[in-house]
Structure 1
Amino acid sequence: MTYDWELMLRLLREVQHSGSETFTPRQYADEHALALEQAGQPMPNLDALKAEAQNYESLLFEGGFIESRPEELGGNGENFILTERGQRLLAMLEDDGAVTSPRQHLVDKGEAALVPEVFDGLPG
């Protein structure tokens, strides 16, 4: 399995900017697909993309990349904030430069990239 790092990036950005709004990964997947199509790329299978976004939400939460937003910050039980690990992942995904970019380290690790012990040992 390989991750759709662009979709993952989209979800992390939504967490970062969501404030007190409910986190809706399926809607973000829909918007991501439309952006791909507008950029001239083929439209992905929407049902599969939405399911993948839902799975990423669980993966990010269980891996300690996101956590429930505290009530004093507008938390409602259905929204999140980035943890320190999540902020690092966001920075790695945004830095998509040379072959040795932090994103490439994620790609090289494959499915294990988001296992907390593996992720925490990655350079970048």
Structure 2
Amino acid sequence: MTYDWDLMLRLLREVQKPGNEHFRPRQYADEHALALEEAGKPMPNLDSLKAEAQNYESLLFEGGFMVSRPEEQGGNGENFILTERGQRLLGMLEGTGSADWRRQLDDKGEAALVPEVFDGVAMA
């Protein structure tokens, strides 16, 4: 299994937005699918994509890539901020050499977002 790194990138970017909006992975999956379609790519199965986005939310939270946003930063219990690990993942997915980083993460399969595995790849 490999992750949909473009969808993951979309979620990480949404986490970075300021304010007290709720984090809505299913909505972001819808918007991601529409962007794919507009770019001439096949429309993915929306139900699967929405489920995947919700799963990614859990993986990112449980893996320490994001934490609940503090109240003084607009936290409402349903929004987040990126941790240092999350910022590294964001940089790997959108920065220079992102194709190489994605390939390295894909080589780890499902374990790519296990904190110890991810940290090993990110520090290499």
Tell me the TM-score normalised to structure 1 length: 0.93
Give me the whole-angstrom Cα distance separating, in 2, the residues matched to 1:9 and 1:31.
13
Listed one character per residue, the Cα deviations across residues 56-111 of structure 1 (whole Å, up to 9, x for unaligned) are 00000000001000000000000000000000000001136376x22222122111
Say if 1:75 and 1:98 are closer, same or farther in 2 by CA, change over 3 A.
closer
Q: What's the C-alpha RMSD, in Å, of the aligned pairs?
A: 1.5
Give me the whole-angstrom Cα distance separating, in 2, the residues matched to 1:10 and 1:68.
18
The equivalent of 2:12 in structure 1 is 12
**Which runs of 5 or more structure 1 residues have no equivalent in the other structure?**
none
The equivalent of 1:79 in structure 2 is 79
Equivalent residue of 2:121, what SS?
coil
Structure with higher helix content: 2
- Aligned residue pair count: 123
Deviation, structure 1 residue 18: 4.3
Give me the whole-angstrom Cα distance separating, in 1, the residues matched to 2:82 and 2:74.
14
Native 8 Å contact 1:95 1:102 kept in 2: no
Is structure 2 residue 113 aligned with structure 1 residue 122?
no
The equivalent of 1:50 in structure 2 is 50
Give me the whole-angstrom Cα distance separating, in 2, the residues matched to 1:98 and 1:80.
24
Give me the whole-angstrom Cα distance separating, in 1, the residues matched to 2:102 and 2:47.
26
Q: Which moved more, 1:68-77 or 1:17-26?
A: 17-26
Percent of aligned pairs sharing the same letter: 80
Native 8 Å contact 1:25 1:57 kept in 2: yes
- After superposition, where does 1:27-106 map in structure 2 within 5 Å? 27-95=27-95, 97=97, 101-106=100-105
Tell me the TM-score normalised to structure 2 length: 0.93
In the alignment, residue 103 of structure 2 is paired with which amino acid? Q
In the alignment, residue 77 of structure 1 is paired with which amino acid? G
